[in-house]
Copies of this chain bind each other. A is one copy, B any other.
Amino acid sequence: MPRSTARREEILTVAGELFRQKGYHATSMQDIADRLQLQRGSLYAHIDSKEELLFEIVDRAADRFLEGIERAWREGRTARERLRRALAAHMSVIADHRDTASVFFHEWRFLRDDLRRRIQVKRDRYEARWRELVADGVRRGEFRAVDPRFAALLALSAVNWAYQWYSPEGPLSPAEVAEAFADLILQGLEGRGAPATAELAARAGAAASPGSAPPGAAGADDGAGSR
């Protein structure tokens, strides 16, 4: 199989979109072919299997997330700054590669054992980086003596879950969401003075039309109920 041709990229893009909207199992090769105005068998001139599509989408997402935290680590000076950058990087991936990221979180478990294991390795490395980042902050005295596991998990949960509700069409940029979370995670609910997100709060509140659910809805995606 050619690793990368224009047609193949088209297929991957469409597959990513459909996998996110309908789920891997509920998306048929027919669905993908229809969007490209192709016969379903014709896809196999470009790919080996449906599962290959899933793997490639998930693998690319894993690489993007990993790249993000590696760069955050390299480019940040303090633990505080690194955490902010890591949150921002994660949000960026979700914003810029919405389909891919969503499939990464939702559908990776449908990969067969060997492929899933390869993804698991990257997931584990990603999470380990987060824990190191927090542990380093504790060691430096920037953070309280919290359990790095829980603290990393809190930060990660916040941004992991974002694929469920974040929309690039909403009023907030990925950077702004990351900053709001960073503020909360660093300072907590019971703290001194006004949070950095005071102004954001106003904006988000103003823009939130009822039913559109930003942010706070653990919300329904588009497309899911189509079939």
Contact = CB atoms under 8 A, between A and B. Distances in A.
Per DSSP, are chain A's interface residues mostly helix, strand or loop, or mixed?
Answer: helix
Stoichiometry (number of copies) = 4
A175 interface: no
B205 A147 contact: yes
Nearest to A108: B220
Interface stretch (A4-12, A53-61, A123-131): A123-131
A224 B110 contact: yes
Size category of the A interface is: 35 or more
A156 to B, nearest CB: 7
A78 B149 CA distance: 28
B149 A205 contact: yes
B110 A154 contact: no
A110 B225 CA distance: 6
A183 B153 CA distance: 13
A157 interface: yes
Nearest to A109: B224
A190 B183 CA distance: 10
Interface string A175-203: 00000110111111111111101101100
A146 B189 contact: yes
A185 B189 contact: yes
Contact of A160 (B147, B152, B157, B201): B157
